[in-house]
Structure 1
Amino acid sequence: MTSVSGQPIAGLAAYRRLSLGEVASTNASALAAAREGDVGNLWVTAIRQSAGKGRRGREWVSEPGNLYASLLLIDPAPVSRIGTLPLVAGLGVYRALRSFFANNPQALAIKWPNDLLVDGHKICGILLESGTLADGRLAVVIGCGINCSTHPENPLYPTTDLAECGIEVEPERVFPSLAAEMAGVLAEWSGGAGFARIREDWLFAADGKGGPVTIRRQDSETAGIFEDIDRDGYLLLNVAGERRRISAGDLFFSTGEGRAYGG
């Protein structure tokens, strides 16, 4: 195996960083590194993305001033346990941002499965992508877009950024916290064997637990009470007294006026 060029990260001997200028997307660059034989634990960061995307192929605005970072992992867990990794990633980013909200920690929360919210406004999106390589290895990329100084305007999905929250911080100051906390939570996860502890911490940080939510998918939606998440990371929704397991979808919180908001 080989490694794509990258610099060691201070304090994280097992991880490297490849810093780029403008790329189509850091996720795509990380997957390209995997196809070139990289051994993994490689962070790819960029100043700007020209073709950033979110879940379900949505465009992700990627102007300079925010942090665009993707972590390449190779064979991080048995395939049966990979499904919990999106929640692990969400907790890693939550821990990374928590120190910046030391004076107002309750403002920061996770929306299932891994959007980061500040008082209900999205401040970070996370996109996981994977692919099986020619040699049989599984490449998994955790892409993180953290709004530091700007955020997209979208009436359907309220958004914010660190500067708007009164936190003036450059992406280069956010990255070390992100890299350290993600390394820590991945070590706790231990290839899926440690998800029980991750689940407890995730639920503590979750927004909306115990309240009404709507899960929207491409061709349907389901409304109910957000009761829990299970050991596989599925959302457990109480729908008219029946508990349902939800594996994917966009979560919207119901408001007192009958509307819903999400991100």
Structure 2
Amino acid sequence: MGFRLSPIAEAAGYRLEAFEVSGSTNAIALERARQGETGPLWLVTTRQEGGRGRRGRPWAWVDGNLAATLLRVETDLRQAATLGFVAGLALGEALDALAPDADISIGMDGASGPNAPRFELKWPNDVLCSNAKLSGILLESSMLPDGRFALAIGIGINVVAHPAGLPYPATSLAALGFKIDAETLFLALSDAWTRLDRIWAEGRGIAEIRRLWLARAAGLGSEVAVNVDGNIVRGVFETIDEDCRFVIRDDKGGTVAIAAGDVHFGAVASAGRN
């Protein structure tokens, strides 16, 4: 059917540029901004060459998966950084809408229940299903001559396949039994994003975004280990704060708020404890 925006996204002024094949959609978005594009503009493809993840890590690509980047211009970069949480929520809601009756295991311990989310959010930027990574989200920015910032919100989703040999479990919609193609998923994603962006409201609604995010949070209340620039911080995942930092409670009862790091649950989090 080809890529298209949802009616509410079109009505809200979003535009769409689709590619049969592209380099990094985030890189294209930032280049568009340097050329004067202000967005909001979605750039999408099912064949991305040169994709990347956090901290410059390569993002393995399989044709038929979805790469979607939203370009917008912001004035407050610290506030705009919380849009990564909006992106995770939007993808979770889009998947819920497309697969309302799917029977899959959920939760870090594989348990399930009637009120538990099937698509969980792992701080800061992953979407999980059945304890495996389904999607990664990458925010990149570039300062513009007028002092504003171009923000590229990149979302890579394993639709038809997932890479093997990774240091963490990964999955795809096809492996989970979902018969959803990239075009249909993007349509639902553009719809969910538009609604949640209205809630976010230039940061004024971050408290509600935080509440919705925590309702999908993977590992909430469980032991975690966070790698912060080579230093391991251990404790229990308690919440995310008003700035969406990862808050853990340590063995002494104190709390630590972490702005950036790699989170590990389960046996990895418990390793090294006496």
Q: Name the TM-score, length of structure 1 as normaliser.
A: 0.90
**Residue number in structure 2 paired with 1:209:** 220
Could you tell me how far apart the structure 2 residues matched to 1:244 and 1:256 are?
19
Of residues 72, 80, 83, the one that matches 1:82 is 80
Q: Aligned pair count?
A: 253
**Residue number in structure 1 paired with 2:96:** 98
- CA deviation vs aligned residue, 1:80-111 (integer Å, no higher than 9, x gap): 42232221221111111122331247432111
In structure 1, stretches of 5+ residues that fail to align are: 1-6
More contact order relative to length (CA 8 Å, sep ≥ 6):
2
Contact 1:101 1:108 in 2 (8 A): no
**Residue number in structure 2 paired with 1:242:** 254
Could you tell me how far apart the structure 2 residues matched to 1:129 and 1:257 are?
29
**Residue number in structure 2 paired with 1:42:** 41
Deviation at 1:140, TM superposition (A): 0.6
The answer to which structure has the higher strand fraction is 1
Residue pairs, 1:217-256, within 5 angstroms:
217-240=228-251, 241-255=253-267
Percent of residue pairs bearing the same amino acid type: 38
Secondary structure of the corresponding residue to residue 9 of structure 1? coil
Does 2:181 correspond to 1:170? yes
Does 2:20 correspond to 1:9? no
Could you tell me how far apart the structure 2 residues matched to 1:95 and 1:189 are?
15
Deviation at 1:182, TM superposition (A): 1.1
Deviation at 1:113, TM superposition (A): 1.4
Could you tell me how far apart the structure 1 residues matched to 2:181 and 2:78 are?
38
Could you tell me how far apart the structure 2 residues matched to 1:258 and 1:191 are?
39
Are the structure 2 counterparts of residues 10 and 111 from structure 1 closer, same or farther at C-alpha, using a change threshold of 3 Å?
A: closer
Does 2:192 correspond to 1:181? yes
Q: Name the TM-score, length of structure 2 as normaliser.
A: 0.87
Secondary structure of the corresponding residue to residue 37 of structure 1? coil
Are the structure 2 counterparts of residues 259 and 94 from structure 1 closer, same or farther at C-alpha, using a change threshold of 3 Å?
A: farther
Does 2:155 correspond to 1:156? no
Secondary structure of the corresponding residue to residue 182 of structure 1? helix
Contact 1:94 1:108 in 2 (8 A): yes
Could you tell me how far apart the structure 1 residues matched to 2:232 and 2:270 are?
15
In structure 2, stretches of 5+ residues that fail to align are: 104-115
